[in-house]
A and B are shown apart, each in its own frame.
Chain A
Amino acid sequence: MLVIKDLHVSVDGKKILKGLSLTINAGEVHAIMGPNGAGKSTLSNVIAGRDGYEVTSGSISYKDEDLLEMNPEERAWNGVFLAFQYPVEIPGVNNTYLLKAGVNAKRKHQGLDELDAFDFMSVVKEKAQLVELDASFLSRSVNEGFSGGEKKRNEIFQMAVLEPDLALLDETDSGLDIDALRIVAGGVNKLRSADRAIVMITHYQRLLDYIEPDFVHVLADGKIQKTGDKSLALKLEEQGYDWVQENL
């Protein structure tokens, strides 16, 4: 589904990713772990299409198309979803409106009819239960006045409604207490499917206790340094990232 080859990315002239390669197939759950400053968030932002990241060489192909040629909304229409590390507050824009506009834009792109308001609301209410989000959140402004945990739950709720093929979860576990983490992870687990790939970007092993990955990658110094299974994460937890750095 996603093939990244020898990706080099700079931000403000500073090299962040230095030859990253990664292949992700449908149905797989990957965890990308690494120390702060390794380029984890850069990777997710480049995949989602944020401005300010200069790809100096390498390629990203998504469903056999050049992902880097698509603007952010085209990526979304084609099934890419980023759960933000810091979800943005958008006062005055209704949560439900945002989702309806997003879903219908995607359906239009796929040549499908728009969902009518009634059908849409029943889908939305069902998905809100997935992350135990109160229905009152639907009529509030996007993320405005939400607690840290509510914002993260809202991201997973949006993921459930938008039904992406490739979901990137950028530090979705950070700032969550144990109950919120359990709820968020429970939501993600229910969204695992054979057609969907999930990439979790995280600093800590903790999330992987709740969402079991098929692959664990260690990202350090702009590259994937090691790939393994769940046990790699446990080793990292035990020995810290220094262990990876030392073995570079």
Chain B
Amino acid sequence: MNLIAQTRQDALSLFQKVGLPNKRDEDWKYTDASHLEDLLEIGGSNSAINAQSLGMVGLDAYRMVFTNGLFDESQSSLPEGVSIVSLAALEASVSNESSEALAKLFQVSRDEPLFSGLTALNAAVASDGAAVCLADSSVLDKPLYILHISNQNNAVRHGLMLGENAQAHVIEHFISTGEDKALSNCATVVILKSGASLEHSRLQQEGEKQSHIARVEVKQCRDSSYTFHGVELGASLSRTDLVVSLSEQGASCELNGLFVLDGRQHVDHHTRVDHQAPHCTSRESYRTVLDGRSHAVFNGKVVVHEGAIKTDSSQSNGNLLLSKYAEIDTKPELEIYNDDVKCAHGATVGQLDDKQLFYLRSRGISQEAAQELLTFAFADEVLAAMSNHAVRLYVEKAAFAKLPHGADLDGFMG
């Protein structure tokens, strides 16, 4: 057995040992994963799904399409001369000597923050993924758009490795076309070398019976920068674990999240930022708009390790409840083992502001339109950090389509 196969076998053994997370785990207190039991076997068939009219049509980007977790080359378009390939193809072709590096991509350990059985399961069973390896100082001239379409259980594992001073923008988009219950179990492993810079957007828009599990692991070297935009609109259950290690001096990350939920949707993001070196910066801003009987969970933990002097960390979480049955559990956590740091966090839960509503109405905007406008404005603020205008516009339209509205809101953004 080669090293990669061995590593994945170990992951499977680990999953078999620990099983699915349950509510006795502190990190899974609010999210019930027990019903995923029946959805763990990933679908084997690569039933072709035509992606032509799906996702961000016409986006000026390189494109990778995964159908049911398998790379579909015929629907993809990749740049020449840059190393962006299918992980499965890479795994099949890699020589024994160089398999060590690739095997690392599948290594999991119980000691990692926010580890769960699902983390191990993904490493064990992921059928494919994007292997992106940018050379030092290379700049991907267009965003890489990774579209995932599924109609059955699937698991992908992406590796994004950016060399020194390399730059890229990667957009992951998840949609499903099936009617039945299914699970997408996804992981993205990011390694940023010194001075590298990655903008990473994740838009989850799967069907209403779908469950979506994701883990994003980011390791940052000196002066690297990572910007995350996590947008949750779809699925009945969605859980993301986002783990960022600022492991060398001067690294910075910005984590933005937006959930727009209704019905009985349940979305849970656990984020963990480890400040392990001096002079690192983390900025985190999550917003939720909750209607119906939806339930959101946000847990943001920042750990400032010994020696991480001049840490600058801030975190905010704003929640707008549109219905009296909607629910939010929010918990910012700070652990500081060091003096000489600047850390701030805060969370708000509320309804629309009466003063703002009256102001808009006094200018002739109807009550209904004023409510919509304020709701959209609240949600949109967190999208302002998206650098790609076309992507932001797509996300805005998709997010706003989920809210009850009738007014013409073209061009309202501040």
CB distance from A100 to the nearest CB of B (A): 8
Across the interface, do B359 and A49 meet the contact criterion of CB distance under 8 Å? no
Residue interface bits A120-162, CB-to-B below 8 A is 1, else 0 = 0000000000000000000111101000000000000010001
Check A204 for interface membership: any CB of B closer than 8 A.
Answer: no
- Which of A48, A82, A101, A106 has the most B CB atoms < 10 Å from its CB? A101
Within the complex, which residue of A76, A92, A97 is in contact with B364, where a contact is CB–CB below 8 Å?
A76
Given A76-B363, A162-B364, the answer on whether A88 and B414 have CB atoms closer than 8 Å is no
**A61 on interface, CB distance cutoff 8 Å:** no
Q: How far is the CA of A2 from the CA of B378 in the complex (A)?
A: 37
Q: Are B365 and A102 in contact (CB under 8 A)?
A: yes
A101 to B411, CA, bound (A): 10
Contact A71 B369 (CB under 8 A): no
Task: List residues 400-414 of chain B with CB under 8 A from any CB of chain A.
Answer: 407, 411-414
Which of A49, A50, A141, A162 is B363 in contact with, Cβ under 8 Å? Answer: A162
Which B residues lie within 8 Å of A73 (CB)?
361-362, 364-367
Which of B359, B362, B407, B414 is within 8 Å of A91, CB to CB?
B414
Known: A91-B381, A91-B414. A106 touches B364 (CB 8 A): yes
Query: Which residues on the B side are within 8 Å of A92 (C-beta)?
Result: 376-378, 380-381, 413-414
Q: Does B374 contact A (CB under 8 A)?
A: yes
**What A residues does B358 contact at CB under 8 A?**
50-51, 72, 88
From the candidates B354, B374, B407, name the one contacting A93 in the complex (CB within 8 A). B374
**B365 and chain A: residue at smallest CB distance:** A101
Q: From residue A12, how far is it (CB to closest CB) to chain B in Å?
A: 15
Q: Is the CB of A102 within 8 A of B363?
A: yes
Q: Within 8 Å of chain B (Cβ to Cβ): is A99?
A: yes
- A88 contacts B356, C-beta separation under 8 Å: yes
List of B residues within 8 angstroms of A91 by Cβ = 377, 381, 414
B364 touching A94, Cβ below 8 Å:
no
B362 contact set on A, CB distance < 8 A = 48-49, 72-73, 75-76, 81-82, 84
Measured between beta carbons, the chain B residues less than 8 angstroms from A75 are 362
Shortest A62–chain B CB gap in Å is 15
- Residue A105 CB within 8 A of the other chain: yes
Please give me the residue from chain A that is nearest to B381 by CB atom: A92
The yes or no answer to A11 lying at the interface (CB within 8 A) is: no
Q: 1/0 per residue B344-360: CB within 8 Å of A?
A: 00000000011110111
Most buried by B among A51, A93, A100, A103: A93
- List, in ascending order, chain B residues with CB within 8 A of A27's CB: none
**B378-401, CB under 8 A of A: which get 1 and which 0?**
101100000000000000000000
- When the two chains form their complex, are residues A71 and B361 in contact, meaning their CB atoms are under 8 A apart? yes
Residue of B nearest to A76 (CB): B364
Interface centre among B353, B359, B363, B413 (most CB of A within 10 A): B363
**Chain B residues near A95 (CB-CB < 8 A):** 414
Q: Is B381 touching A90 in the complex (CB atoms < 8 A)?
A: no
Is B237 on the interface with A (CB-CB < 8 A)? Answer: no
Interface extent on B, as a size class? 20 to 34
Q: Is B118 an interface residue (CB 8 A)?
A: no
Per-residue 0/1 for A38-59: is the Cβ within 8 Å of any B Cβ (1 yes, 0 no)?
Answer: 0000000000111100000000
Residue B373 CB within 8 A of the other chain:
yes
- Asked if B365 contacts A94 (CB within 8 A), the reply is no
CA distance A140 to B358 in the complex (A): 20
A50 to B413 CA separation, bound complex (whole angstroms): 26
Complex formed: what's the CA distance from A87 to B355 in Å? 9
Choice from B366, B374, B411, B412 contacting A105 with Cβ under 8 Å: B366
Whether A22 is near chain B, meaning CB under 8 Å from some CB there, is no
A102 to B380, CA, bound (A): 21
Within the assembled complex, what's the spacing in Å between the Cα atoms of A75 and B362? 8
Measured CB to CB, the closest approach of chain A to B236, in angstroms, equals 29
A90 touches B356 (CB 8 A): yes
**Residue of A whose beta carbon sits closest to that of B373:** A93
A77 cross-chain contacts in B, Cβ below 8 A: 364
Q: How far is the CB of A123 from chain B (nearest CB, A)?
A: 15
Nearest-neighbour CB distance to chain A for B289, whole angstroms, equals 13
**Closest CB in chain B relative to A119 CB, distance in Å:** 15
Q: Kindly report which residue of chain B lies nearest to residue A142, judged by CB atoms.
A: B414
- Verify A98–B363 contact, CB threshold 8 A: yes
The residue from B355, B366, B412 contacting A94, defined by CB atoms under 8 A apart: B412
Task: Tell me if A93 and B414 are in contact (CB < 8 A).
Answer: yes
Min CB–CB distance A131 → chain B (angstroms): 17
- In the bound complex, residues from chain B placing their C-beta under 8 Å from that of A97 are 411-413
A51 near B366 (CB under 8 angstroms)? no
CB contact under 8 A between A94 and B413, given known A102-B365, A105-B364, A105-B365: yes
From A72, A82, A90, A162, give the contact of B374 (CB < 8 A). Answer: A90
Seen from chain A, the residues whose Cβ lies within 8 Å of a Cβ on chain B are 48-51, 71-73, 75-77, 81-82, 84, 87-88, 90-103, 105-106, 139-142, 144, 158, 162
**Known contacts A84-B362, A92-B381, A94-B413; can you find 12 more A-B pairs with CB under 8 A?**
A49-B361, A73-B361, A73-B367, A93-B360, A93-B413, A94-B412, A95-B414, A100-B411, A101-B364, A102-B363, A102-B365, A139-B414
- Subset of 25 A-B contacts with CB under 8 Å: A49-B362, A71-B361, A71-B367, A72-B362, A81-B362, A88-B358, A90-B360, A90-B374, A92-B380, A92-B414, A94-B411, A94-B413, A94-B414, A96-B411, A100-B411, A101-B363, A101-B365, A101-B373, A101-B407, A102-B363, A139-B414, A142-B359, A142-B414, A158-B363, A162-B363
**10 nearest A-B residue pairs (beta carbon):** A141-B414, A92-B377, A76-B364, A72-B361, A102-B364, A102-B363, A97-B412, A88-B359, A105-B364, A94-B414
